[in-house]
A and B are shown apart, each in its own frame.
Chain A
Amino acid sequence: MTNTAPTRSLVIEREVPHPPEKIWRALTQGPLIEEWLMKNDFEPVVGHRFNFRSTPVPGWNGVIESEVLALEPHARLSYSWGTMGMMSVVTWTLTPTKDGTHVRMEQTGFPSEESASYKGATYGWTKFVGNLERVAGGLD
C-alpha cells in the first residue's frame, strides 16, 4: 500500500502439509467452500458474481456480495468481498514448498478514516450498532 491509497490490508499466512491442488479444491468447489467458510454459489470463472451467505444477525443480512476477479489454477484466486457498505478484495496465493504449501490470504481495501468508503462503512455499522440498543440500554 502506498501513501496515496487510503486503505489497509490484512495478511494471514500458513504452511500446510497438503499439495496446492488439494487446497485449490477446498478454495474453489462450492460444497467444500461451504464446509470451512460459508454457503455460496461460487463458480471458478473470472467475472462470475456470487454470494457468500452466513446466518443473518440483527442488523446484518449475512450476505457477502462477491465477484471472481482472478483465477490461476492451483496458484492464485482473487474475489471481491462486499458487505456492510464496505468493499474489499480477498486474494489467495498458493506456493508449493518441500512438505506442502504456503497459503497466503490477503484482504485489501479496509477503509482508512480518510477514504470515501469510510462513509459507507460508517452507515452499515451505525445500523448494526443501532440494533444493539437494548444492550446499550443496560449500560446506563
Chain B
Amino acid sequence: MQAAAENVFKALSDPTRRAIFEHLSRDGEQTVHALTDRAGVSQPAVSKHLGVLKNAKLVRDRRAGRETHYRAHPKALAPLIDWMSVYGAFWRDGFDRLESLLKRMDP
C-alpha cells in the first residue's frame, strides 16, 4: 500500500476518529469544543485524534481567536477511492462472464 493510502487508512481505523471525520464531512466546519461535546471523550483526546486526522490530511484547521476550527478535507481520501479502477476491473470481469454466457446460450 502506498504511504498516503496507508496514512489515511490508519487514521480512519479508529472508530472515534472516523466519527469525527464523518461528522465534519456531513456538517461542515466545527470548533474543537463542539466536536468534544459530540465525541463523548475528553478534549485532549479529541485534539489528539484531530492531530492524527490532520497528519493524514483528512482535516484542515484554522485558528480564530482562542478557538481552532476544523473542517473535513475529503480529497485526502482519493488514494482509497479510485472508482475508475474498482469498476474497471468489475466490468471487465463482467464482460468475461457475459461472453462465456453468450457461448452457452441458444442462438
Contact = CB atoms under 8 A, between A and B. Distances in A.
Interface of A: 8, 10, 12, 14, 16, 18, 22-23, 25-26, 32, 35-37, 86, 103, 105, 107, 110-111, 113, 118-119, 121-123, 125-126, 129-130, 132-133, 136-137, 139-140
A101 to B, nearest CB: 10
B26 to A, nearest CB: 7
Contact of A122 (B9, B25, B84, B88): B25
Most B CB contacts (10 A, CB to CB) among A113, A121, A140 go to: A113
Interface string B71-107: 0101101101101100110011011011111100101
Most A CB contacts (10 A, CB to CB) among B21, B92, B101 go to: B101
A35 B97 contact: yes
Interface in B1-59: 6, 9-10, 12-15, 18, 21-22, 25-26
Contacts of B91: 10, 12, 105, 107
- State the majority secondary structure of interface residues on B: helix
Interface of B: 6, 9-10, 12-15, 18, 21-22, 25-26, 72, 74-75, 77-78, 80-81, 83-84, 87-88, 91-92, 94-95, 97-102, 105, 107
A107 B92 CA distance: 12
21 contacts: A8-B84, A12-B88, A12-B91, A23-B102, A25-B105, A26-B105, A36-B100, A105-B91, A105-B95, A110-B84, A119-B25, A121-B81, A121-B83, A122-B74, A122-B77, A125-B80, A126-B22, A130-B18, A133-B14, A136-B10, A136-B13
